[in-house]
A and B are shown apart, each in its own frame.
Chain A
């Protein structure tokens, strides 16, 4: 958990002022795939991710460094709603989360439910700036 929190602190600050920035990104989920799978956002500005799950099964949208993902691969949290970069999206529902990414670079977003990453539930977030 410490690894995960430390990793998050380097890429995230705040989660509540996305509306003011007006930056919003929609990510759909269908047949256990992210659509689009490649997203580009600006550095240092709040971005609201609107994640719509059109599948009849639950999914997750978790963004972070490899250390974050590795922690989740062996983690045991069944539900995510306490961190803006980790969102459980129940079946046939939509969730929003606002994230400010402080550093330019590339991050993966994944679903860490059993078998989902291996099935191909991954995407890439490019932070420009």
Chain B
């Protein structure tokens, strides 16, 4: 099963999955700890230092609530209902045969302190909360709000909080969904706007709640202004560049015509990265330098902790890494990623 993540600019974590040309499947941690499948869809674009992130949280049924926690690269300036078909159009672009309709943001992590709630909004049956805090704080907030975190959550939350203490928690109220007449698999698109100097795509969180040998498959679409340099890529990391070309005018026009997508630029570069890795293998995120400097951040990739003397990877080295992997580099302005979203079930 292929997972689809659409990520704009790299900053937002899009946890989406799609089966083949359909939509996405993400891990859902049930009340008994079992991992179920949840279908979600996401798209993100990066242009003029702003990441626009559209992800679809799909209703998985059941009598209670469930949700997801998504690490973000910065504080969103807006969270609203997204367009209805952006992701599908992007899929069509790269799978035409298919027919389907950092800088360090320090965060106090003192035990017992609560995460700071930066934003709360409701989109259809989804309760969206943007949080700022350390891993323990966000974990405590999630626990206090009924999320059932898997055993790897404390370490994974710290992994992200050490680089960016911003998280988006999305909780699906099944009762509200039922009142709205939402059916199993129906998605609610959410558009997150995040100013960020360079995008990154959180990948490690896709393994949340999975054992080390479970496979993670996802498609990550990047649409950026120029050809990006990324870190890491390569078969040894389970990341392969599967599409690398200028975005067509038709695609950009189509994307721009969807709700809230007026920001889509006149030109851009489309990259598709296939993720096929075990959870144990996927220990890093995807750092993207869309600035033209050719220096993807080791911090953004999760290979180094943030600090005052962080040296980015020199362009030549980054290129060597990519070339050694027999992969093409991609520069783009918008990032579309198809991935699996690890979701966490609020206790009943």
Contact = CB atoms under 8 A, between A and B. Distances in A.
Interface of A: 30-32, 54-58, 91-92, 111, 113-116, 118-119, 121
A56 B136 contact: yes
B64 interface: no
A112 B211 CA distance: 16
Contact of B111 (A32, A54, A115, A118): A54
B151 interface: yes
B108 interface: no
Nearest to B35: A115
Interface of B: 32-34, 111-112, 135-140, 142-143, 149-155, 157-158, 209, 211
Contacts of A92: 111-112, 136, 140
B152 A55 contact: no
Contacts of B151: 32, 57, 111, 113, 115-116, 119, 121
Nearest to A58: B143
B149 A57 contact: yes
B20 to A, nearest CB: 29
A115 B153 CA distance: 12
B33 A115 contact: yes
Contacts of A121: 151
Nearest to B136: A56
Nearest to A117: B151
A27 B138 CA distance: 24
Contact of B209 (A55, A58, A91, A115): A115
Contact of B143 (A91, A111, A114, A115): A91
Nearest to B209: A115
A57 B139 contact: yes
A57 B155 CA distance: 11
Contact of B154 (A56, A111, A114, A118): A56
